[in-house]
Structures are given as C-alpha cells and as structure tokens.
Amino acid sequence: MSDASTIAAPPTRAGYERIPLYAPGTAPCATDVSDTINLWGAPPAAVAAVRASTVETIAHYPALYNAELKAPLAAYAGVAPDEIVTGCGSDDVIDCALRAFAEPGGIVAHAAPTFSMVPVYARANGMEPVGVPLAGDDYAVDADALLALDAAIIYLCSPNNPTATPVARETLRRVVAGARGLVIIDEAYAEYVLADPDARAEVFTPEAPGMGRVLALRTLSKAFGLAGLRVGYGVGHPTIIREVEKARGPFKVTYPAEKGVLAALDDVDDARRWVETHARLAVAQRVRLEDGLRALGLAPAPSAAHFAFVPVPRARAVAEQLRARFDVGVRVFTGLPTALPSAVPALAASGGEGLRINAGPEPVQRAFLDALAAVLEGMR
Ligand SMILES: *Cc1c(COP(=O)(O)O)cnc(C)c1O
C-alpha cells in the first residue's frame, strides 16, 4: 500500500520542483473549443487501419526508427526519407532535439507566449527557457532580442500556439543567419496554412534540410485528426536527424499508430482528401469566428491557423462563466507580456489576458459565440 505522506522519496534533479504537470484546467464539457485538435474527427481509413492492426502481428516491434514511416512522410512533406525523424508526437521530437543539441544549463530561447510544453521540456532536460515577448499589432517575433540571448537552441512556432500568428520569412532568415545553435521551427499547423486561400503565413518545412541548422516540426495530431495516436515528425538535414534519433531511441511510434498514419498518408479511401477538405472547412470557420469576435467588440490576433486568440480583460472570469453558465470550455491565458513599450497593444489593454478558441462545426461555434456574447453582456 502506498502512502505519499510516509515514503522517503528519493531526491529529484535540481530544478525539477519548478516543473508543473500539464494541467490546462479542462474537464469534459458540452461545447469544447479549448484544444486545437480536429473537431471534425479523424480520417475513417486511418481509424480502420488502427483497428485492423490490433489483430495483426502486434507481438512484433515496429521497424527500427519507424523506418516504414519515413518514405511516405518525406513524400508528403516534400523532402527525402533521410531528412525525417518521427516521434511519440512532435512533443517527443522537441524533447529529443533539446537533449541532443543543448548542454544542461544551456539557454532555450523562445517567443512569449508560445507552445507551453517548450519551457517544460527545457527544464526537464536541465536547461533554462527564456521567453522574448511578441511585439506590436502583428504579434511579431523579435529576432534581435532572441539572438542577443546567445541561446543553444532557439524555438519558433509558425503559426504560433496560442496566438495563431505567423513567423515572417525575413525573421526566420535573420534568426537562422545569427544563431549559433539549433533553430526549431514548429509548423504543427502547416496544413491549415496550405488550406487557407488568404494565407498570412508561409510553410518552411520543405526548405528546412537546406537551411543547415534548422529542424522543422510537424504533427499528425492536428489537421490529420490523429492526436490519440501520438505521431509527430521533424524535418532537417540528415546530420541533424541522426543526432535527434540518438536521443529518441529505436522504438517510439507504436505499431498500430504506424499503421494508422500509413493509411492516411497512402490516401486509402481518400484519407488525404478528408484531411484537406476539413482543413479548408476549419479555416473558413476560423474566418467566421474572427468576424464573430470582432462583432462583440473584441480584437482577435490575425490568425494564420484554424483557431483564434483574442485578448480579453479578466479572461479567467469570462472562462469560468462560460463553463458554469453554458458548459463551454475555452483555453485561458494570463500573465502574458505587457511590460515593454513594444508589447502587443491589445494585450497591454487586456492586462495580459486572453482566450484561445478552436474553430469547429457551425453548431459548436454558434454555441460558443452566443455564450460569449451573453457572458460579456453580463460583465459590462
Ligand atoms: C499541438 C502542438 C504540438 C503537439 O503535437 P503532438 O504531435 O501531439 O505532440 C506541437 N507543437 C505545437 C505548436 C502544437 O500546438
């Protein structure tokens, strides 16, 4: 029998006490727009392949380094098979890349706010995450301030989670030219950029291997609707890929996950068309979501993905009322940077608070917007 109050727990590594368990504060709710997953589901062919795989040779290991995934992923991403590393989600590829390319104690520089797992994996690997605030009306990444940190690793995310705003080509070029270590460009939402007729972002993945010190990250968790399978991948020069794979180990992606992803990539039963169709739908819904937010007098960030980020004063209270009165879940952000003169004006005006909202099927989105209108009206 275990009793947490009486065991003499072994000491953890220094700094570990500052690492939180991931707890975004979401419980199941009727209208859940709090994540950035695919609210339309998953390609049916991928689901069928996962089902079938469990009655196949599940007693076997997958191929070393999940080699069977590399050719189809490479063809999909527009690179060569030896320019691909897979992982247990792109989370895992981030974790492995940090371990491979930075010393314990090294600085991991990133824009702030950005993907919340980056500071966590930096600390878990004994490194020091340092955030550089996004600046101005367009939530721009400050290349000079990032480079001034002389970091072992610079992490960029385009479109950025949670702000949905892009990294400009010129910014990426300057960061790569000035960096002394690895530059990670996380493109988890690339499919939505490609599906957007008025795209505010570019997709850099195919160029990553030629950029030398760059590792681009992609995932099957968002537009492909396969978050539960946990498959992500990195794209870069083969020299970089090999080093990340040492930190990764040979068997990261499970056999059923491998089969599900292969079915999606091989376009079984039009799986790729399913992904593209729903990415286009999600982008169209995001445009309506931004319009709906503006109609409520709010100023959403210029989104290049399928979700919206909107600065809102007292965002936590708004989210609590959304949940309590309407069973609606959104993601809350507080304590975002407002101190510098260059701070994003809308964030400074909201006291550094905001909401991130996923685009979804119209009934879901309507329920969210109606609930938000009622909550804001009641708080006036
Ligand atoms: C969701 C997300 C990921 C996570 O991906 P997994 O492949 O599910 O681990 C990575 N990066 C960003 C920016 C994300 O928003």
pLDDT tens for 155-194 read 999 999 999 999 999 999 999 999 999 999 999 999 999 9
> Ligand 1 centre and the CA of 295: distance in Å?
30
Give yes or no for residue 23 having a pLDDT over 80: no
Task: Dig out the tokens for 146 from the structure.
Answer: 């990032």
> Ligand 1 centre and the CA of 219: distance in Å?
6
Residues 6+ apart with CB under 8 A from 239: none
Domain ranges of the chain: 25-41+272-379, 44-269
What share of the chain in percent tops pLDDT 90?
Answer: 88
Read off the pLDDT band of 129 (50, 70, 90). Answer: very high
> Ligand 1 centre and the CA of 90: distance in Å?
6
> Ligand 1 centre and the CA of 8: distance in Å?
36
Which residue minimizes the CA distance to atom 11 of ligand 1? 188
Q: What is the mean pLDDT of residues 265-290?
A: 96
- Pick the atom of ligand 1 nearest to 222's CA: 1
Give yes or no for residue 117 having a pLDDT over 80: yes
CB atoms within 10 A of CB 281: 18
User: CA dihedral in degrees (252, 253, 255, 259; nearest 10)?
Assistant: -160
Which residue minimizes the CA distance to atom 5 of ligand 1? 90
**pLDDT computed for residue 4 by the predictor:** 59
Task: Dig out the tokens for 173 from the structure.
Answer: 């070029």
Task: Dig out the tokens for 25 from the structure.
Answer: 């504060």
> Ligand 1 centre and the CA of 101: distance in Å?
20
Give yes or no for residue 35 having a pLDDT over 60: yes
> Ligand 1 centre and the CA of 197: distance in Å?
23
The pick from 161, 184, 307 for probing ligand 1's pocket by mutation, whose C-beta has the most ligand atoms within 8 angstroms, reads: 161
Read off the pLDDT band of 1 (50, 70, 90). Answer: low
pLDDT tens for 294-343 read 999 999 999 999 999 999 999 999 999 999 999 999 999 999 999 999 99
Q: Which CATH number fits domain 44-269: 3.40.640.10, 3.40.50.1110, 2.40.30.170, 3.40.50.2300?
A: 3.40.640.10
Q: Which CATH number fits domain 25-41+272-379: 3.90.1150.10, 2.40.400.10, 3.40.50.150, 3.30.43.10?
A: 3.90.1150.10
Residue 314 region by backbone torsions, left for phi larger than 0, else alpha for psi between -120 and 50, else beta = left
Give the global pTM: 0.96
Give yes or no for residue 149 having a pLDDT over 60: yes
- Residues in contact with ligand 1 by the CB-under-6-Å rule are 36, 89-91, 115, 157, 161, 186, 188, 219, 221-222, 227, 232
**pLDDT computed for residue 187 by the predictor:** 98
- Pick the atom of ligand 1 nearest to 90's CA: 7
Nearest to 43 by CA among 276, 266, 264, 358: 264
- Pick the atom of ligand 1 nearest to 36's CA: 1
Q: Give Cα separations from 60 to 191, 210, 256, 334, 339 (angstroms).
A: 32, 36, 11, 46, 55
Read off the pLDDT band of 27 (50, 70, 90). Answer: confident
Phi, psi of 172 (to 5 degrees): -60, -45
> How far is it, in rounded angstroms, from Cα 186 to Cα 198?
21
Instruction: Write the DSSP string, 99-149.
Output: HHH--TT-EEEEEES--THHHHHHHHTT-EEEEEE-BTTTTB--HHHHHHT
